[in-house]
Structure 1
Amino acid sequence: MDDLQFRRQAYGDPNNRSDEFLIHLAENEDDAKFVKDLKAFDRKITQALNISVPNDLADKLILRQQLSQHQQSKKQTRYMMAMAASVAFIVGVSFSLLRFTPVNLGENSLAHVHHETKALIMEQDIGFNDVNFKLASLDGLSESKFIQQPGRVFYTSYCDFQGVKSLHLVMADESGNKVTLFIVPIESRIVLEEAFADNQYKGQSFQTADAYMVLVGEPASDLDFIKKEVENTFI
């Protein structure tokens, strides 16, 4: 066995027990010492890698993972609480601003009519007692009522004027043109416009003892006719 072949086998496996390898060691004192050193080095490596594992290592690793997850959960919870607090603050501020923002009856009434187009195609016959039933739930109007039928009522529903619960009616003038009537409880932030209009509708407003009355109709409609009907039947 030449020296190169010997060293390859020695590095690859210093514990080689082949006859050729052992004979070479017996005949070469320096190579035998070299293999002895390699074996000693292997033992040191084996001892270094042979680290005893603590019995509670698995429990410690699980605990560490749980603590990590708990910390992450706490961070997420704090984030969600902060977000919820921010949303609540914004909603609170918005609601507070809404309560103090002036309400322009003319603009809001036109917006309602444009938005609730289905109201103008309804063909019901609603009695004044049904209207009075809805009126009774409005702030400050529990004692207000129609004492008789104010002409035909095609539609009735609640509506909201920036936080002011109101009543939405659809009636008809003497010629059968449909006219929208909004009955709005009196509130200090409401701005009353006696006359208003846009490119599709005209409107007028007047005040009774406990409510604002807002009439909206097409240019050909007779709003004064409906106004007289309401003034003669609403107390």
Structure 2
Amino acid sequence: MDELEFRRRVYTDPNDKHPDFLSASTDHAANRQFLNEMKDFNHKLEQAMNVPVPKGFPDTLMLRHLLGEPKYREGPGWRYLAIAASVAFVLGFATRFIHLPAEASPGLPSIAQVALQHVQTEMPFTRYVDEQVTLIAANAKLAPYGARLSDMSRVGKIYYANHCMFPGGTVAHLVIAGEYERINIFLVPMDQPLKMESQFAGQGLQGEVVPMQNYRLVIVTDMQENLKQVTDTVKTSLEHII
């Protein structure tokens, strides 16, 4: 079982007992570490969701009902609360796949933090994988985001092309060759609930966020790379198709 298939099965069921899954989890240290991280995350999530009901709370609700508390409140406040609850649900589901750092600020997660954490988490896999991605295969991943590569001569070799999960939904993820290390490219739809930043750095990486027509182009590179040059190259290589 290759590492990509192993990670997909971990996302689906970290407690999988199939022999080939157990073998992959014990034979490779990186797989074992990733599995332990996912199990620990699920345990913390279960603890967070298992919040006891405060004593007397059901009686309070019943009393309000008997006193004629209206079932529905008018005014914008309740609509905002409903919207916030919907966003919270989406973000909560998305963190099943992306681990946000503990120091993430309250409110919307930062696109920089999400991108950096995603690259770091996937690096044991994306640093070595080579799917020998063709132009057709890469454009098949980019098409849902309204983009395509005109050719591969500018961006060079593409090692990996897939869809990844960010808070709010999926994004396109390409990994291409850089001068020093591999470069991660994300196409993040405009409507995803993320706090925007233009440039960022951390964890030995640097990045830039560029608003495009239908998405935000996010570039993450090693600190040695010429970030501006890489960003300009990728921008001029992408075409708008919708």
| TM bucket normalised to smaller | 0.5 to 0.7
Q: Over aligned residue pairs, what C-alpha RMSD do you find?
A: 2.6
Q: Deviations over 1:14-38 (max 9, x none)?
A: xxxxxxxxxxxxxxxxxxxxxxxxx
Q: Please report the TM-score for the alignment, with normalisation by the length of structure 2.
A: 0.52
Preserved CA contact (<8 Å) 1:104 1:190: yes
Q: CA deviation at 1:224?
A: 2.1
Give 1:172's aligned residue. Answer: 177
The match for 1:146 among 125, 128, 149 is 149
Helix, strand or coil at the partner of 1:155: strand
Helix, strand or coil at the partner of 2:133: coil
Q: CA deviation at 1:226?
A: 2.1
The percentage of counterpart residues that share the same residue type is: 20
Q: CA deviation at 1:95?
A: 5.5
Preserved CA contact (<8 Å) 1:145 1:234: yes
Preserved CA contact (<8 Å) 2:167 2:192: no
Greater helix fraction, Structure 1 or Structure 2:
1
Q: Please, which runs of 5 or more residues in structure 2 have no aligned partner?
A: 1-49, 54-83, 92-106
Q: Please, which runs of 5 or more residues in structure 1 have no aligned partner?
A: 1-82, 87-92
Helix, strand or coil at the partner of 1:160: strand
Q: CA deviation at 1:94?
A: 6.8
Q: Deviations over 1:45-77 (max 9, x none)?
A: xxxxxxxxxxxxxxxxxxxxxxxxxxxxxxxxx
Q: Tell me how far apart the structure 2 counterparts of residues 188 and 112 of structure 1 sit (CA, whole Å).
A: 16
The match for 2:127 among 104, 111, 120 is 120
Q: CA deviation at 1:200?
A: 1.8
Q: CA deviation at 1:108?
A: 0.0
- State yes or no: 1:185 paired with 2:189: yes
Amino acid paired to 1:116: E
- State yes or no: 1:196 paired with 2:200: yes
Preserved CA contact (<8 Å) 1:126 1:153: yes
Q: Please report the TM-score for the alignment, with normalisation by the length of structure 1.
A: 0.53
Matched residue count: 141
Amino acid paired to 2:226: D
Preserved CA contact (<8 Å) 1:103 1:191: yes
Helix, strand or coil at the partner of 1:136: helix
Q: CA deviation at 1:128?
A: 2.4
Q: CA deviation at 1:180?
A: 0.8
- Computing the radius of gyration over CA atoms, which structure comes out larger, 1 or 2? 1
Q: Deviations over 1:143-180 (max 9, x none)?
A: 4211211321111121111132101111123x253111
Give 1:135's aligned residue. Answer: 142
> Within 5 Å, which residues of 2 pair with 1:1-235?
96-99=87-90, 102-117=108-123, 118-137=125-144, 141=145, 143-149=146-152, 150-173=155-178, 175-187=179-191, 189-235=193-239
Give 1:4's aligned residue. Answer: none
Preserved CA contact (<8 Å) 2:111 2:194: yes
Helix, strand or coil at the partner of 2:148: coil
Helix, strand or coil at the partner of 2:149: coil
Preserved CA contact (<8 Å) 2:168 2:193: no
